[in-house]
Amino acid sequence: MSYVYVKTAKGGKDQKSAAADTEPVPTTIVPHQLKNMLMGKGNGKGKLANLKIDLWVHAEVNSTANTALTAVVNVDPSASAEFNSLAALYDEVIVHGGRVFHSLVSTGGTAFEAHWSSAYDPTDNTAYGSYVAVLSASQKLGPMRATAPPTTSLQCPIAVTKNGHVSYTFKCPKLPQKTLQSATANDNLCTGYWTSTAFGTFYYGFVKPYVEAAGTGVVTSLATTLCMHCEFRSRT
């Protein structure tokens, strides 16, 4: 149950209830009614103002023992928990950029040592094949070298946030980035475009980390938390 507050009278000072010039009226609000309320105070006039908001997603990837860890995390605002509620109010969305948070841990083995890095790619969802390949990207984290005793969190020789993550920012290109290099990547690639919120799954690039094989028997686990700087708008 939601409440909408309405005026009891103009001014309200000449009324006996002048001390409280609004009264709660219970009503059930559905998305299109809420949209109308935001557009011209309930009369449907005017245009819904653009909304800038951060949306978050989280993913975890594990390697097998003594193998490199490589992954692709989609920059996909529709994967966030809040997206459907926003899509009920707004017609289009775009991602301007964001911040990537990584946390790296290891289990098993007798020692750990590995080089690793991560990069944002605006168009291609092909995983990197080597640590050095990641370093060619223009928007990246690294180079980094991680070492640790077994079954403990890795100690990376770079600054970390208070919660133990390493992070980097990225910016999405402002011009459309659709290419012909990868049909899979381009089916839903929307980097640089305003996209209909009804489109479903769409990508504004990809976060692609690579961690070298860390040692005999070592399993590497990488947690990735992605913050996307989004903007929503109404067409009419």
Cβ–Cβ under 8 Å, residues 141 and 167: yes
- Using one digit for the tens of pLDDT, what is the confidence trace for 162-190? 567 889 999 998 876 665 455 454 567 88
What mean pLDDT value characterizes the chain?
76
Residue 231 has pLDDT above 60, yes or no: yes
CATH 2.60.120.20 intervals, the chain: 47-233
Taking Cα atoms as reference points, which of 98, 62, 137, 223 lies closest to residue 128? Answer: 137
Residue 61 has pLDDT above 60, yes or no: yes
Q: Strands 219-233 and 51-62, how do they pair? A: antiparallel
pLDDT for residue 159:
41
φ/ψ (deg, to 5) at 140: -150, 170
- Using one digit for the tens of pLDDT, what is the confidence trace for 94-124? 999 999 999 887 776 666 778 899 999 998 8
Q: Percent of the chain, pLDDT > 70?
A: 66
Q: Which amino acid is at 35?
A: K
pLDDT for residue 27:
46
pLDDT for residue 113:
77
CA triple 109-102-150, angle to 5 deg: 15
Class of domain 47-233: mainly beta
pLDDT for residue 179:
56
pLDDT for residue 96:
95
Instruction: Summarize the confidence of residues 222-226 as an average pLDDT.
Output: 92
- Using one digit for the tens of pLDDT, what is the confidence trace for 6-28? 444 455 544 444 444 444 444 44
pLDDT for residue 186:
58
Peptide bond into 143 cis (omega under 30): yes
Query: Is 195 strand, coil or helix?
Result: strand
Dihedral, CA of residue 185, residue 187, residue 193 and residue 194, to nearest 10: -130
- Using one digit for the tens of pLDDT, what is the confidence trace for 128-141? 999 999 999 999 99
- Residues in CB range of 61: below 8 A, 6 or more apart: 69, 71, 209, 221, 222, 224
pTM: 0.73
pLDDT for residue 42:
41
Instruction: Summarize the confidence of residues 195-209 as an average pLDDT.
Output: 90
pLDDT for residue 118:
95
pLDDT for residue 163:
65
Q: Percent of the chain, pLDDT > 90?
A: 39
Residue 204 has pLDDT above 50, yes or no: yes
Host H or E run for residue 7: strand 2-7
Residue 57 has pLDDT above 70, yes or no: yes
